[in-house]
Structure 1
Amino acid sequence: MKVVTTHKNPDFDGFAAAYAYKKLNPDFEIVISGKIQQNLEEFLRLFEFKYLNESEWKNKIEKLVIVDNSLLSRVGKTILEMSKDAEILVYDHHPDIKNVDNRLEINSFNVGAITTYFVKKIMKRNIVLNEREATLFAIAIYEDTGNFLYNTTSPLDFEVAKFLIENGANIDIIHEFTTLELNAEQKNLLRILQENLESFVIQDYELTISKAEIEKFIGGLNVITTKLWDFTNDDTLIVVVRMGKKTYIVGRTKNPDVRIKKLMEFFDGTGHERAASATLVNVSVDEVIYKIKEKFPECVTPSLRAKDIMSYPVRTILANESIKRAYEIMQITGHGGLPVVEKNKLIGIVTRKAVDKAMNHNLEDRPVKSIMNTKLITVEIDTSVQKIREIMLENDIGRVPVLDKNNILVGIITRSDLLRATNSERRARFVLKKEDTEDVKDLMFERLPKRLINLLRLLGEYGEELNMPVYVVGGFVRDLLLGIENFDVDIVVEGDGLEYAKYVAKQLEATMVSYEKFLTASIFFKDGYRIDIATARTEYYERPAELPLVDISTIKKDLYRRDFTINAMAIKLNLGNFGVLYDFFGSRDDLNKGIIRVLHKLSFIEDPTRIIRAVRFEQRFGFNIEKSTLELLERTLEEGYLEKVTGQRVRQELEKILEEKKPLDAIKRLANLKILNHIFAKTYYTKVMEEKLKRLFAGFQELEKIYGQINKFYCVLRILLEFYDEQTLKEVVKKYGIPKKFADDLKVTEKKVGFVKEMVEKRVKFSELYKILGKPVSETAAHIVAYLDREDRKYLFDYLRRVFNTKLEKVSGNMVIKKYNLKASPLIGKIMNELFCKKLDNPEIDEIEELDKLVAKYFGGVK
């Protein structure tokens, strides 16, 4: 008999790899041992996958395949007993596997999940997968790569995940099972661990340990540890929990110097370098913690320093040398930047981008110091690579000079040096500094109504009562600092935002509406006022242009996910820190300078609608999009990311622009940046179109008086899509969710708008205009308004008011038939229409007198 198995207490990667192996080798049986991890157990309850528990297996095993595990000690006892004489084959992906048993033939692959390896083989064999199988494999890959953020993630993991999603893997289910919610018992254990946190510094490295002892087994300790780790944001966290006779150890670290896997090997455990675990029997918690602290120094490998990765000797340029000379040096050396030296001192850095721009403007003879960046950020030779990474990410720079103890330039570190040293980029850990905070309490009291101040204080007090930090964030903070009235309050809570919202609603006797999927809620007061509450969160995107998934995080990470620096500030509301502004990203400085800046390089790729939003904020406040942000915007646009966004999301951004005070300025800017052409491929912004839009916006106020509420988006769209060919127009209508009737009406109006314009200019009678125009819908009226000057618009508005207010008060079709003893016929309708036209031209006419004339005209002497 042939069996494929994995480690005891299997997770998604172990089970999925075993299932994939059986898919490739149908003559094998899947046998698992131990208690299945919680999220996998929930998944298997919902979806049917055939496998056997170890207790059900009674046969001798001739060939045994072990996946996601290379230690026999982690295989079930029954399986081992039944495979004493078996050929044993191992497939694993954990690094540095050592073969400690000659019986094992070990195959190890450099992938984030061993499932990836087997699915790749499935792809090569063209084996068909159903939706549930594709979803199982995808969850395994997402979970074991940490949503592709772990350093073990390989390009093959991305390739296979793409294949699985294209073949039916359900994103919603993947999200559900990779972000498992804790049950009541798990939440209680998490609370105990939060209370028992203790931090140590061992050989200059921070180590946080938490412990707990409970009587019964509670599954999902890995998930609980991850949640706790997110909460504490510690470099290295070890959780030690005794459940009955067994003591479980789970470790996590962000520090590349710390090897968690090696630490767990002292307890016969295993895992990855930065995430590993172990299980012991009849060993006390305190004994385990003592040994962790004792062995921790042996598991630390000091990281590389600046001196280890820097490029040297450094090619420099003198401050008074020409830009042309800098250009020549860069051409020869391939350098992207040069340190600028004057009197043997480093005074700045000049980049290739600055040099290229200067050359394009024929400034090659100017001194290089005229275009250098004087904002010098340097490191010392003993600065760690981790610290250098933080400096480069937080300051958005591509190179850092290295100085020795005498402040002499000895080297330079570029992004390439950093990448070579670390194999991949990491997100820098967020650290709060004094310069990141400012007291704006007095400003709040000065600019906010007393009622709102009192509400904000209460919201802070409720946070204190629940032991949760509470912040007001986003546009409210931005506009407070700008002195703009904005009472739309968005609250972010570090903790359970839904629990906090429920508590607030109860205390203030308000109504709460929750959106559990997004960890948010809205509070509605009796007078209609509303505040929105969210859990501090980090967003990560499955694919560019898609809506993000969310998970619990800290306030800085929550702010980091936002669109622009000016919207990435928070004010704390808790009693001890009420009115403290948190500004981690130089947001206040950007606000003062009047610039729109993204928070990171992938911002537009992750959410391309930010391209449109950047223009909206730029035009609203009279700001400028910062140069590097503009370059990122243009690059993202050229690479076609905006086209990947759903039409509905693009439409929402355009509708918001039309509600701004100067929408035409924003549309013009969209056109100048070629954004408009990426939204509507065959729209060419010209001076003629601009004049039409000016007239249209000038007429909106009167149109709203006549029609009540109008759809400005449809009105503007009439001009933007004018003279489109029918096929392209159909595609636009479909993408942006526009009624088919819109396209039909547009084409009809295109044909007659010139004739109507001529009639208006000649001031023809209203009755003549009515024969062509009738009672137009608001979009058609707006379309015509775009062709008329001020006086002509006034005439059209008079016509529209007249046509919608004119009614035949004494005459109806039935009345005509009865009074003149006529039979129903089209002539009756013609009489009614002519009578209406007469009243359009002269509201004071005698309806009965004019009716008599018309009846006589069409029916002779009938009375």
Structure 2
Amino acid sequence: MKVITTHNNPDFDGFACCVGMKKLHPDFEIIISGVPMQNLKEYLRLYEDVFPYLTSEEIAKVEEGIEELIIVDTPGLERIGDEIKRKLKPDAKITIVDHHPDIRNDEHSEISVGNTTYSFTKIIRQTGAAASIVTKMMKELGIKPNKMEATLLGIGIYEDTGNLLFSSTTLDDIDAIRYLFEHGLEVEIVAEYVKFDLTIDQKLLLQNLLQNTHTHIIDNHVITIAYAETEKFIGGLSAVVAKYWYAQEPETLIVVVRMGKKVFIVGRTKSPDVDIRGLVSEFGGGGHRQAASATLSMVAVEEVIHKVLSLLPKYISSGLKAKDIMSSPVRTALAFETIEQVNKIMEVTGHNGIPIVEGDRLVGIVTKKTIEKAINHGLGKRPVKSVMTSKLITAKTDTPVSTLKKLMIEHDVGRIPILDENNILVGIVTRSDIIRASQKQLVQMSQEQEPSFNFKNITEIIYERLDRRIINLLRLIGVYGNEMKMPVYVVGGFVRDLLLNIPNYDIDIVVEGNGIEFAKYAAKQLNAIVVPYEKFYTATLVFKDGFKIDVATARTEYYEKPGDLPQVDVSTIKKDLYRRDFTINAMAIKLNPNEFGVLYDFFNCQKDLEEGIIRILHNLSFIEDPTRMIRAVRFETRYNFKIEEHTLEILKRNLEANYLERVSGARIRQEIEKILEEKQPLVAVRRLAELGILKHIFPKTYYTPTMDEKLERIFRFLPLIKQRYQNISDFYAISTVLLEFYDKETLEFMRNRYGYPKKFIESLKFTENMMLPLKSMVESKLAFSDIYKVLGKGNPYIFIHLSAYLDDDGQQYLIRYIDAILSTKLEKVTGKYVMEKFNLKSGPLINEILEKLYAMKLDNPSLDEVSTVEKIFEETQNKIKQAEVSENTNR
């Protein structure tokens, strides 16, 4: 291999240098290690197809070693990925390109890694950005970057030089920017990704703008108008507008600000259909079509906004339509074709998504990622229809490109089928088509991109609904994240219940970085104990009062085969959330101080939460973890939600394919036990039966109205029995009915699968055989002594089983019996007393006498034990004598 790399967790400068060096060395591969910086991560979500790269995890699977290595934006091997170091051949040729002054020494040097010494060739220049060095090399060799390459290199330079304002900026940096401008550098895109800080006055102005924001729909375009007023002049309005633009990502933004007697208008747009320059020219201003400004004197802000709204329709054009940019004809696959066949089509055509048709009707779409997952799970022979997405987002041939952009963002799709007036498939638009059509007005819309409207700050909700201690703890965790240079989030059920205003102190923290190292650092600061779990990259913080917090590394889980426990890879917060069970559990709140309280919602989770919908995140979710079928019912009944139609369809399909049977009994039992802890467990059990899930857990159980009545009685009885016995298992309790009348062989299978104790199965069969006489005795309210002769002291699960056959009156009498056997004790008469009193040897007779005495005391708690035991002994002796006489007579 020949490799170009940069430091771990690369920024724009490092990654841009990699792209520039690949332009110089086309036969090299770019490899990055760790998690890219946040703004680079966002950039790559859109452009990873334009600037392909490999990760260190991917090259770990490659057998070849690295024979040539180019390292950029770092002075040596210390900060590059460990996998790259491991792959280096002993005679590898290494070149370093960097701008840091601490390594500007000899042209050649050596460094030892382990037992190997490597020789370096260094290209070191003192510039503000390493990208400036690479740009100069390209210029000297006559290598011309295209627009996207020039813009990427420009972002790297602007970011590392603080927009050319840092003291480290040199003429080489300025010359590089000029060269990149000559080759198409798009400064609007640079402004989207280069972050900067505002002054206090600018921050206050930004806050006012955010508070005074209104949205208008004009000719199907979303126009955002923000305004503010201040009596003093605040410089850098363009910087404030850029910050608003970057944070809120509106389609079209018009800012109107009065400072003293002057009113400033600043406009920006991502839409090729909106002419901002034309609009502000009406106010005597100028600029570019997508960004322009104007200054007015002695006018009211309201008057300016009114005029802007009235003029805007004049400067909005219809623009490009779907028919102008779509690919046609469309390569499709038939619904009955196998997953393997569709995979071959994708490999031949290079398509990452293919529409699925049945007859002449479009019925779904499938992505390369889904196909590969299905094949990994051994589903290659199944029809592609079984894994396709049938919830289609389509458009007509005359749909504007701007509308297609919105559809892609709002529905998180990377391709949209185009239909004609007869609803016949005539084309398809991909994100690449949108990029080419939009040119300078690029929007982030890849499958890995979050819809910006789903990101909002919920600090107010946090302060309203959480205890002060929890808020302070979350803020401290965010501070520690900054100190460790790691993005930190609280995720999952805690976020879900916070939005639902339900108390939940089960806190799960996810870190984009090393979760275990973060946990150790936080534990030290918080005086807590840390318990690490190296295999899963997780740890638990345990406080002195017993309070716990779980900390995890942002990770991707994959399954070797359906039903297995997941394998784990380090990942990003987006992918970490994507691995979760349902959308309502796939949200995160950022805790780092600069973004504290920002809700991260990549999959329209808030919408599902508001509408009460349980939805899986991808079509293979139930195959990867079939216990999610049970979990879906738990959440559905807990919140009174509904399983979404497409999710329900997939659940039933995978249930019929017996995926639940592939899961260990321990995991299924664990999920059922969680359901039984809910407030309405019987409602959930009924739903499990309705969906057929219960039949796959208890294969010889038939859920009839009679069984439902039995379970209803058990759930009424359980609180009473739990007051009298400890550690009652609800799972065992309902199993007394669900396992009724099973044959011996199946019962043994169930015992092994779900871990029932042997004694439980024995008591189950006893009660089953004696149920009718026991039921009759309790309902007839026979004396406790008579019931005791049949039932004895029993055990709680015998009583629970019996309660399933009793009405309320019968259950109350059974409880009185249970109270009697729990409270009744022989206080004066013992086995030793009987032996000494009546000169008897140890044997069955002693136990028989004591049992009769105990049974009589059940009926009469004030019984005189001494006198009664004498009568029992006398009666016993008379019976023995009568038996002997009878035996002699028979002889």
Short-chain TM bin = 0.5 to 0.7
- The count of corresponding residues between Structure 1 and Structure 2 is 570
User: Per-residue CA shift, 1:524-575, capped at 9, x if unaligned?
Assistant: 1111111111111111111122111111111111111100011111111111
Change (3 A) 1:767 1:453: same
SS in 1 for 2:561: coil
Is residue 2–residue 69 contact of structure 2 (8 Å, CA) maintained in 1?
no
Q: How far 1:240 sits from its partner (Å)?
A: 14
1:210/1:375 CA distance change after superposition, 3 Å: closer
Quote the residue 1:602 is aligned against. 620
**Offset at 1:431?**
2.2
8 Å CA contact 1:312–1:411 kept in 2: the answer is no
The match for 2:171 is none
Mark the CA change 1:854 to 1:190 in structure 2 (over 3 Å): closer, same or farther. Answer: farther
For residues 65-214 of structure 1, the aligned pairs below 5 Å read 194=10, 197-200=13-16, 207=19
Deviations 1:753-799 (A, max 9, x none): 12100110110110111111111222111111111110100000110
Distance 2:755 2:842 in 1: 42
Alignment match, 2:762: 744
Seen in structure 2, the aligned counterparts of structure 1 residues 824 and 845 have a Cα distance that, compared at 3 Å, is same
Letter in 2 for 1:308: S
Partner of 1:327: none
AA of the residue aligned to 1:641: Y
Identify if the C-alpha distance between structure 1 residues 650 and 230 changes in structure 2 by more than 3 Å, giving closer, same or farther: farther
Cα–Cα, structure 1 residues 812 and 209, in superposed 2: closer, same or farther, change >3 Å?
Answer: farther
- Aligned partners of 1:522 and 1:532 also within 8 Å: yes
Partner of residue 411, structure 1? 426
| 1:829 CA drift (Å) | 1.3
Quick check: 1:308 aligned with 2:308? no
* 1:401 alignment partner in structure 2: 418
- Tell me the CA shift for residue 708 of structure 1: 1.9
Give the letter aligned to residue 818 of structure 1: E
Aligned partners of 2:840, 2:30: CA distance in 1, in Å? 85
Is 1:826 matched up with 2:844?
A: yes
RMSD (Å) for aligned C-alpha atoms? 4.4
Cα 1:310/1:453, change in 2 over 3 Å? farther
Question: Is contact 2:394–2:416 with CA below 8 Å preserved after alignment?
Answer: no
2:576 paired with 1:558: yes
Q: Which residue is 2:740 aligned to? A: 722
Maintained 8 Å contact 1:390/1:429: no
In structure 2, which of residues 69, 72, 79 is the aligned counterpart of residue 248 of structure 1? 69
Residues 766 and 238 of structure 1, relative CA distance in 2, 3 Å threshold: closer
The residue that corresponds to 2:310 in the other structure is: none
2:481 alignment counterpart: 463
- Counterpart for residue 360 of structure 2: 333
Alpha-carbon displacement from aligned partner over 1:19-66 (angstroms, at most 9, x marks no partner): xxxxxxxxxxxxxxxxxxxxxxxxxxxxxxxxxxxxxxxxxxxxxxxx
CA contact (8 A) 2:328 2:426 kept: no
Which residue of structure 2 aligns with residue 528 of structure 1? 546
Give the deviation of 1:497 after TM superposition.
Answer: 0.7
Instruction: Verify the 8 A CA contact 2:20 2:134 in the aligned structure 1.
Output: no
Compared CA separation, residues 239 and 733, structure 1 to 2 (3 A): closer
Please report how far the alpha carbon of residue 748 of structure 1 lies from its aligned counterpart in structure 2 after TM superposition.
Answer: 1.7
Q: 767, 791, 801: which one pairs with 2:809?
A: 791
Q: Distance in 2 between matches of 1:392 and 1:580?
A: 19
User: 1:802 and 1:240 mapped to 2: Cα distance?
Assistant: 70
Instruction: Measure, in 1, the Cα distance between the counterparts of 2:655 and 2:590.
Output: 37
The CA deviation at 1:719 is 0.8
CA distance in 2, matches of 1:537, 1:820: 76
TM-superposition CA deviations, 1:673-717 (whole Å, max 9, x none): 111111121111000000000000000001101112201101111
In the TM superposition, 1:604-753 aligns within 5 A as 604-753=622-771
Which amino acid is the alignment partner of residue 521 of structure 2?
Answer: Y
Do the aligned partners of 1:230 and 1:552 also contact (CA within 8 Å) in 2? no
Q: Displacement of 1:505 after TM fit?
A: 0.5
Decide whether the 8 Å contact of 2:413 with 2:447 is kept in 1.
Answer: no
CA 1:810–1:748 in structure 2 vs 1: closer, same or farther (change >3 Å)?
Answer: same
8 Å Cα contact 1:766/1:799 also seen in 2:
yes
Q: CA deviation at 1:802?
A: 0.7
> How many Å separate the matches in 1 of 2:862 and 2:448?
77
Task: Give a deviation string over 1:185-239, Cα, whole Å, max 9, x none.
Answer: xxxx9856746843549xxxx948799xxxxxxxxx9998343569964323779
Alignment match, 1:492: 510
**Partner SS state of residue 485, structure 2:** coil
Compared CA separation, residues 443 and 837, structure 1 to 2 (3 A):
same
1:835 counterpart = 2:853: yes
CA contact under 8 A between 2:11 and 2:37: conserved in structure 1?
Answer: no
The structure number with the bigger radius of gyration is 2
Q: What is the CA–CA distance in structure 2 between the aligned matches of 1:400 and 1:806, rounded to whole Å?
A: 77
Determine the structure 1 residue equivalent to 2:535: 517
Match of 1:161 in 2: none
Mapped to 1, the partners of 2:406 and 2:662 lie a distance apart of 32
**Alpha-carbon shift at residue 299 of structure 1 (Å):** 13
Counterpart CA distance in 1 for 2:533 and 2:331 is 55
Instruction: Report the AA paired with residue 671 of structure 1.
Output: A
- Match of residue 819 from structure 2: 801
Per-residue CA shift, 1:834-862, capped at 9, x if unaligned?
Answer: 00011011101111111121122224699
- Partners of 1:194 and 1:210 within 8 A in 2: no
Q: CA 1:806/1:336 → structure 2, altered by over 3 Å: closer, same or farther? A: same
Q: Secondary structure, in 3 states, of the residue corresponding to 1:600?
A: coil
Tell me which amino acid in the other structure corresponds to 1:662.
Answer: Q
Aligned equivalent of 2:452, options 434, 438, 441: 434
CA contact (8 A) 1:699 1:793 kept: yes
Tell me whether 1:591 sits opposite 2:591 in the alignment: no
> What code does the residue aligned with 1:333 have?
D
For the structure 1 residues 396 and 433, does the alpha-carbon distance in structure 2 shift closer, same or farther, using more than 3 Å as the test?
closer
Distance in 2, Cα, partners of 1:192 & 1:775: 68
TM-score normalised over the length of structure 1: 0.59
| Helix, strand or coil at the partner of 1:571 | strand
Unaligned runs of 5+ in 2: 57-65, 73-91, 94-117, 125-129, 150-322, 333-356, 366-389, 434-444, 881-891
Q: CA deviation at 1:439?
A: 1.5
Q: Which whole-Å deviations, capped at 9, do the CAs of 1:634-660 have from their partners, x for residues lacking one?
A: 111111111111111111101100101
CA contact (8 A) 2:490 2:508 kept: yes
The reply on whether 1:443 has 2:461 as its aligned counterpart is: yes
Pair 1:199–1:773, CA change in 2 (3 A) = same
Q: Contact 2:661 / 2:696 at 8 angstroms: preserved in 1? A: yes
The corresponding residue for 1:578 is 596
* 2:409–2:451 Cα contact (<8 Å) kept: no
Q: Once the two structures are superposed, what CA deviation does each residue of 1:434-490 show, in whole Å capped at 9, x if it has no partner? A: 212111111111111111111111111111111111111111111111111111111
Conserved? CA contact 1:733–1:739, under 8 Å: yes
Query: What code does the residue aligned with 2:575 have?
Result: K
Change (3 A) 1:376 1:529: same
Cα–Cα, structure 1 residues 591 and 297, in superposed 2: closer, same or farther, change >3 Å? same
3-state SS of paired residue (1:831): helix
For 1:534, what is the secondary structure of its paired residue? strand
Structure 1, residues 482-524: CA drift from partner, whole Å, max 9, x if none?
1111111111111111111001110010111011110111111
C-alpha distance in 2, partners of 1:467/1:742? 54
Asked if 2 retains the 8 angstrom alpha-carbon contact of 1:240 and 1:247, the reply is no
Report the Cα distance in structure 2 between the residues aligned to 1:532 and 1:240, rounded to whole angstroms: 28
CA contact (8 A) 1:199 1:209 kept: no
Q: Which runs of 5+ in 1 are unaligned?
A: 1-6, 10-188, 212-220, 252-267, 270-278, 314-329, 339-371, 419-426
- Report the Cα distance in structure 2 between the residues aligned to 1:813 and 1:312, rounded to whole angstroms: 89
Distance in 2 (alpha carbons) for counterparts of 1:467 and 1:489: 21
Give CA-to-partner distance per residue, 1:604-627, whole Å, 9 cap, x none.
Answer: 111111000000000000000011
